[in-house]
Structure formats: C-alpha cells, structure tokens
Chains A and B, each alone.
Chain A
Amino acid sequence: ILNVEQSPQSLHVQEGDSTNFTCSFPSSNFYALHWYRWETAKSPEALFVMTLNGDEKKKGRISATLNTKEGYSYLYIKGSQPEDSATYLCAPKWNTNAGKSTFGDGTTLTVKP
C-alpha cells in the first residue's frame, strides 16, 4: 500500500493569515499529483494537477509546488479568507498504476473572520 501523508491534520487561522500544508508520498515511479478542495456539503473540486519536478501552479491566492525527487508537495494560501475553509486533499499517482489516484487524509482548514 502506497502511503500518502498530509500535515497538519487540521489548521485554524485568522482571516488574512497566510498558511501552507504538506503532502508527502513515495517518490519512486511518481506519475502525477492532484490537489483537491472539499468544502462541507459539496463535492471535492480539482485545484491543480502537477507532473514535473519543480512544478509550480497558481490559482488566485492559492499556489502549489512539487518535489518529485524527495516526494512532497506544498500548498500555499496567501491572505486566507473564510471561503477558503475546506479540506484540502492531495492525490498522487505512480507509473505502476497510473489509472487511479491514492488520496491522503487531507488537511482541514478553518479561517476565522
């Protein structure tokens, strides 16, 4: 079983704070990694797909980086807003089975006004 670890498990910040979380995964045979945002009572929504070592992706105030050699990805949120409150899931894939994603347990972010 390929282990995907996300930290921290939960995070409480004040509106306007910047924050970041980590996804760690086995680096051998890495294929691609997706980040998803899952808001309460909604469906998980894809944020980014990352494939190359050194990839950086950005969408508004949210950005992500990828290190495939050491097996980690960071997600950053600049100037957190209450609407950023959600669980953020990372989901890597490996060449040995690129047909499916393996999800971490997520980081739950709560942004207080």
Chain B
Amino acid sequence: DTGVSQNPRHKITKRGQNVTFRCDPISEHNRLYWYRQTLGQGPEFLTYFQNEAQLEKSRLLSDRFSAERPKGSFSTLEIQRTEQGDSAMYLCASGRGVDNYGYTFGSGTRLTVV
C-alpha cells in the first residue's frame, strides 16, 4: 500500500471556476476525512465519511463545497464558484474506526484562487 494519495498536488484557478480534488485512502481504512489548512493555522475539519456514508459536514462549510465517496473507496471534494478565500491546503486523511492508529494523511492539494 502506498499510503494516502491526493491529486492534484497543486491547482491554480480563476475566481468563479469549479475545482475537484481526489483522494485515494489506504484500502483497509473505512474512515476518510477532509481538512483545510491555511498559513499559521491548524487543519480545520471539513467533512468525514465512514465507508460511503458522509457522517458529518462542518457547519462552517458553505453550500459551494460538496464531497462524495461513492463506493467507500476514493473520495472527491468539489468547490463550486471558487472565491479567493478558498485558497488553502486541502488535506485528506484516512483511518480505522479505532483511535490507536490516528490518521494517515495525504500530501495535500494546494489551491490558489486568483
């Protein structure tokens, strides 16, 4: 297993465009998380899945953000009508249901909205 994979690594987009990121978790992990991180801040929770079920979505997240995990494997995060404030590092992590292992993070997708 090669760990958690995120694509693309970097994305530059114009304000108002839609973007989609992909995350491939560790295959035996049933939980998948999306976090967003901006400079000087810790990762901020966006949403998480257990298998294909989206169990929680942050109340801070606008309706422009949507995430899916259709077959309980990979996940996509879409941002519609991007704004400059969406510029951030988007981190995906996967984990088991038990806590002893923590999360395994991907390398992140760096989004820049110009």
Contact = CB atoms under 8 A, between A and B. Distances in A.
Using C-beta atoms within 8 Å of the partner chain, give the interface range for chain B: 20 to 34
B100 A105 contact: no
Interface residues of A, number: 25
A42 interface: yes
B33 A100 contact: yes
Interface stretch (A44-52, A66-74, A78-86): A44-52
Given A43-B107, A100-B33, A49 B101 contact: yes
Interface of B: 3-4, 31, 33, 35, 40-45, 48, 50, 55-56, 91, 93, 99-108
Contacts of A42: 107
Interface string A13-34: 0000000000000000001101
Q: Which 9 A-B pairs have the closest CB atoms?
A: A46-B102, A103-B42, A43-B105, A105-B42, A34-B102, A103-B43, A32-B99, A44-B105, A104-B42
